[in-house]
Chain A
Amino acid sequence: NFMLTQPHSVSESPGKTVSISCTGSSGSIASNYVQWYQQRPGSAPTTMIYENNQRPSGVPDRFSGSIDSSSNSASLTISGLRTEDEAEYYCQSYNSGWVFGGGTKLTVL
């Protein structure tokens, strides 16, 4: 079964840039779109990036998504970190079924 692997946690200081990776277990991650969802504690998820690198209206351009076929991974990059970015981030794609990554807890300290 296809799986998406994310680091359990990452941390960075306010104002800095951080990237969260999402690595596909098999096949080509570029074969299907990758999405990124943010979930703050006690809240529902919200969509930050869809279709690899598209931002919904209202999501600041500090958030960007990319695909690296050489490492079979997707990345979510957040620049100009703010304390409000502290949350759990999930990647999601599709490969004979919906697949979510296990989530990455971002700490901004």
Chain B
Amino acid sequence: EVQLVESGGGLVQPGGSLRLSCAASGFTFSSHAMSWVRQAPGKGLEWVSAISGGGGYTYYADSVKGRFTFSRDNSKNALYLQMNSLRADDTAVYYCAKQRYALPVIDYWGQGTLVTVSS
């Protein structure tokens, strides 16, 4: 059974940093690209970032480019999203998502972790 468990969310002041983690299990982790998708309160889904199975390629939405860094540790089946220079409009639930191999297609989602940026 595929499981994706996010952690690391919380309250942070504007300009601050936070690191999200996602623990994955139930599939061959290194064979699949992974993504983060966020959802601001009362809003729709927004893709944030993706990483290739080997970790050598990363992609970012314009809204987070230069501020967020996505990495993975295939020896630990773990993902990390380092978020710096956080702004109020980064407030959202952040979902870890498994892609179908390298395709821009999500087949499994985590339960999400809430990030609140506020003073």
Query: Complex formed: what's the CA distance from A101 to B106 in Å?
Result: 15
Asked whether, in the complex, the Cβ of A90 is within 8 Å of the Cβ of B44, the reply is yes
Asked if B112 is an interface residue, CB under 8 A from chain A, the answer is: yes
- In the A-B complex, the 9 residue pairs with the closest CB atoms: A98-B47, A94-B104, A100-B45, A103-B44, A44-B109, A44-B111, A50-B105, A45-B109, A47-B107
Chain A contact surface mostly = strand
B84-114 residues with Cβ-Cβ distance < 8 A to A are 95, 100, 103-112
Asked if B73 is an interface residue, CB under 8 A from chain A, the answer is: no
| Cβ 8 A contact of B112, one of A32, A44, A97 | A44
Asked whether, in the complex, the Cβ of B106 is within 8 Å of the Cβ of A92, the reply is yes
| Closest chain B residue to A56, Cβ basis | B107
Asked whether, in the complex, the Cβ of A47 is within 8 Å of the Cβ of B108, the reply is yes
Q: With contacts A45-B37, A50-B107 known, what are 17 further pairs, Cβ within 8 A?
A: A33-B103, A35-B106, A37-B45, A44-B109, A44-B111, A45-B45, A46-B109, A47-B106, A47-B107, A47-B109, A56-B107, A92-B45, A93-B104, A98-B47, A98-B50, A100-B44, A103-B45
Query: Complex formed: what's the CA distance from A18 to B100 in Å?
Result: 28
Residues of B that sit less than 8 Å from A by CB: 35, 37, 44-47, 50, 61, 95, 100, 103-112
Residues of A that sit less than 8 Å from B by CB: 32-33, 35, 37, 39, 44-47, 50-51, 56, 90, 92-94, 97-103
